[in-house]
Structure 1
Amino acid sequence: MEERKTGFQQIDYTLLFLLFVLMCFSLLAIYSGSGQYFTDDPTHYVKRQIIWFIVGIIIMVSVMVLDYDLFKNFSIPLYGVGVMLLLLVAYSSLGVFRNGSQRWLNVGPAEIQPSEFMKIFLIIALAHMLYRVTVNRGAKDLQSDLMIVAKVCAIGLPPFFLILSQPDLGTALVIASIMATMLLMSGVAWRILCVLGLGVVGGILSLVYLHNYNFELFSKFIASHQLDRIYGWLDPYEHQGTYGYQLVNAMRGIGSGQLYGSGYMNGVQTQSDRIPEIHTDFIFTVIGEEFGFLGATILIVTYFLLFYRMVIIALTCNNLFGTYLVSGVIGLLVFQAFQNVAMTIGLMPITGLALPFISYGGSALLTNMIAMGIVLNVNIRTRHYMFETEESSM
């Protein structure tokens, strides 16, 4: 028996509340961390972030009200546009080179980062492909599983390598995370996933071998500034005057926060301009130092609840296309949150990934708000049954 609900009743207000909590964290942390850069107007970045949030909410609602089945009609064009924009960044005069990377596209008065929007385009393209393969799939066997893996790689690897060549290892790893998450949800046999995992481990070990015994070949795969970040991660105190400077000061700030924090706007590391890009990539340092372990825990629990709600939406959706869409968003956001927090405490190398919904920035925030719109869209259009059976949910 179907339990009928209106559109507003179907909206996941818990998800919206958790998003609101993250927005509050964002504005508080940006105001504290960025005031030092604009002494005449300490609210400069906060006001711009509020504008980005407003634009992001409008876009999120716009994505939410559309029937997500319509995304199937645009999956191939969107994917093609995304790849074309990445090619323009790499091979045209419109590509903007800054801080050792060519990631931006000059479009008149503004600059955009196509790799951010490619994340969403890839999720839609992979979801559509997996949906068609799953619906038309006959007997589940090794050959069909290998075909799924081949198609995922055929769609995901071109943007992966284009983004990696910018070079932008962090975003490339996000693309890989999306591919891995959606492969996991596709039902591919575990033995194939294990082989793929071993292949990744083998690739990493091969790079270590090349670093030790054939550095010239190694340098063709890993850029010099990326290697410096690895050195700074493995032994930050040995390189605290150079590569490890940012990480050492971030860990000192988070460590000094202890249980309750040093107090809002009272963080020594945060307010002394010792941590570059503290309002963007290293914004977790602000929260760890000024709000302490309790504040950082509240933030991480908020993320956990947000991701948990997404998993529930993916599992309860009775449309495979919707399930794949939400799975891709989970892969997108979970990896970014984990990587950003982990790199500020020395568990992962520094990659320059923003903390979702917290870090200052436009392209990344809009991408994440579009992703949230997709999740809310799927939830609104999921039919719920009072007495659901295995057959009714298929």
Structure 2
Amino acid sequence: MSRFNRQQSTPTINYGLLLPIFLMLVLSIWLQYWVATYEEVSAVNQAIKQVIFVVIGVGGMVMIKFIDKKIIWKLVPWIYVFSLLLMASLYLFYDVTMYNITGTKRWIDIAGIKFQPSELAKIAYILFISKELIKYEMNTKIKTLSTDLNLLWKLLLYSVPLFALMFMQKDFGTSLVFICVLGALLIAAGIDWRILGTIGAILAVIGCILIFLVFTENGNNILKSLHFKQYQLDRIRAWRDPYAFADSIAYQQVQGFIAMGSGGLFGKGSTGIDIYVPVRESDMIFTFIGEAYGFVGASLVIILYFYLFFQIFYTGLKSNSKFNIYICVGVVFMLVFQTFENIGAAIGLLPLTGIPLPFLSQGGTSLIATMIALGLVFEMNVYD
């Protein structure tokens, strides 16, 4: 298949990509163990649970690595449809416990196995959009504003079922991940700058309108009619002036600031934590890193993330396949957005959205899905 041209050379093991993944997985087990020591759960059990997730994730990554990309190419439409059906099945097999806690149907529960279909949908969406971009380039001899617009409408049409399901599940944070992935892939495909500029302007206006509505009573009523929850609106207000709501809606965020600030340059160590931060094992895991290991430790973790992102990009470029490049762009920006949003929320740059920090936050579905996505990258042959 011409779209998967490979040079006649011997592929090498991608140690450059393997190293940051290995370090992230070890760090995830380490952090979950120590965070659990400050919660009312067994630290050993939590570490074992994380090890199980790591083993399943690595197994998924290895399995995907040995599936030829030609087979994946043929299965892409079916994978996307399956992911949509899986998300739709939430209305029959949703996790009742999580629904009672959050009021949303985001977790599926089948025979005691619980996971978030949206995490797997991210991978399916990356593959689907990447394939559509390749088909567009193969069938379009001369790209014009008109052909690019036709492509955009086609992609938006295909995306409607996904975003409709996300809207019905009230998962605004994850919807932003899909938007980021789509935008990154459109830029990578070289879509006409006038289209990209118009989309950017529209999104900026919508964002400003949403923020304005948050701070008016009538605006709140409008947002609630659009399925926004009260806690989501509170997060925006808490982000604007957290210390004004330090004892109420901004308690989690302010505690996170105090914890990270108290870590200083080198931190207090894993056994020196003395600031309570709600949901520290998941949404606020970065505050534990800042308190325990200080500015230096937190900076090293961020550097490790950037090294991982670079290796994914580099793998795509060296693989000699446009399809692979698009997949790498999608995977990188999926991880970049989640990392930027989670850490940005922890340090006050962005409002809280509940998006997990890749690898490190508690949550088996997120970790396993991330490893499967990286399996797609590992499958790419990199040549000397």
Distance across 2 between alignment mates of 1:100 and 1:342: 26
SS at match of 2:128: helix
Matched, 1:69 2:70: yes
Distance across 2 between alignment mates of 1:120 and 1:3: 27
CA deviation profile, 1:202-258 (whole Å, cap 9, x unmatched)? 112222444437323233233212101111111111112221011001111111111
Aligned partner letter, 1:58 = G
Q: Would the aligned equivalents of 2:95 and 2:114 in 1 still touch at CA under 8 Å?
A: no
CA deviation profile, 1:82-105 (whole Å, cap 9, x unmatched)? 11122222x435464242221011
Offset of residue 184 of structure 1: 1.1
Q: Which residue of 2 aligns with 1:110?
A: 113
Distance across 1 between alignment mates of 2:83 and 2:258: 40
Offset of residue 38 of structure 1: 4.3
Identical aligned residues as a percent: 32
Could you list the runs of 4 or more consecutive aligned residues of structure 1 that deviate by over 6 angstroms after TM superposition?
none
Q: Which residue of 2 aligns with 1:387?
A: none
Which deviates more from structure 2 when the two are superposed, residues 258-267 or residues 206-215? 206-215
What are the ranges of 5 or more consecutive residues in structure 2 without an aligned counterpart?
Answer: 1-5
Q: Provide the TM-score with structure 1 as the length reference.
A: 0.90
Matched, 1:186 2:189: yes
Output aligned runs, 1:71-220, within 5 Å.
71-89=72-90, 91-92=91-92, 94=94, 96=96, 97=99, 98-211=101-214, 212=216, 214-215=218-219, 216-220=221-225
Do the aligned partners of residues 304 and 93 (structure 1) sit closer, same or farther apart at CA in structure 2, a change above 3 Å counting? closer
Distance across 1 between alignment mates of 2:339 and 2:212: 30
Q: Which residue of 2 aligns with 1:241?
A: 247
Which deviates more from structure 2 when the two are superposed, residues 248-257 or residues 213-222? 213-222
CA RMSD of aligned residues (A): 1.8
SS at match of 1:179: helix
Do the aligned partners of residues 325 and 260 (structure 1) sit closer, same or farther apart at CA in structure 2, a change above 3 Å counting? same
Aligned partner letter, 1:220 = S
Do the aligned partners of residues 94 and 343 (structure 1) sit closer, same or farther apart at CA in structure 2, a change above 3 Å counting? closer
Q: Would the aligned equivalents of 2:166 and 2:172 in 1 still touch at CA under 8 Å?
A: yes
| Paired residue total | 373
Distance across 1 between alignment mates of 2:93 and 2:24: 38
Distance across 2 between alignment mates of 1:6 and 1:360: 38
Aligned partner letter, 1:69 = K
Q: Which residue of 1 aligns with 2:3?
A: none
Output aligned runs, 1:1-394, within 5 Å.
5-7=9-11, 9=12, 11-38=13-40, 41-89=42-90, 91-92=91-92, 94=94, 96=96, 97=99, 98-211=101-214, 212=216, 214-215=218-219, 216-221=221-226, 222-269=228-275, 274-378=276-380, 380=381, 382=382
Distance across 1 between alignment mates of 2:192 and 2:318: 22
SS at match of 1:106: strand
CA deviation profile, 1:271-296 (whole Å, cap 9, x unmatched)? xxx22221111111111111001101
Distance across 2 between alignment mates of 1:206 and 1:99: 26
Q: Would the aligned equivalents of 2:107 and 2:116 in 1 still touch at CA under 8 Å?
A: yes
Q: Would the aligned equivalents of 2:93 and 2:108 in 1 still touch at CA under 8 Å?
A: no
Do the aligned partners of residues 338 and 265 (structure 1) sit closer, same or farther apart at CA in structure 2, a change above 3 Å counting? same
Q: Would the aligned equivalents of 2:266 and 2:297 in 1 still touch at CA under 8 Å?
A: yes
Q: Provide the TM-score with structure 2 as the length reference.
A: 0.92
What are the ranges of 5 or more consecutive residues in structure 1 without an aligned counterpart?
Answer: 385-394
Q: Would the aligned equivalents of 2:316 and 2:324 in 1 still touch at CA under 8 Å?
A: yes
SS at match of 1:111: strand
Distance across 1 between alignment mates of 2:217 and 2:292: 45
Q: Would the aligned equivalents of 1:68 and 1:377 in 2 still touch at CA under 8 Å?
A: yes
CA deviation profile, 1:70-119 (whole Å, cap 9, x unmatched)? 11211111111111122222x43546424222101121121221111110
Q: Would the aligned equivalents of 2:94 and 2:105 in 1 still touch at CA under 8 Å?
A: no
Q: Would the aligned equivalents of 1:254 and 1:289 in 2 still touch at CA under 8 Å?
A: yes
Offset of residue 265 of structure 1: 1.9
Distance across 2 between alignment mates of 1:173 and 1:250: 23
CA deviation profile, 1:35-88 (whole Å, cap 9, x unmatched)? 23346x321111110111011111101111111121121111111111112222
Distance across 1 between alignment mates of 2:217 and 2:200: 24
Do the aligned partners of residues 249 and 314 (structure 1) sit closer, same or farther apart at CA in structure 2, a change above 3 Å counting? same
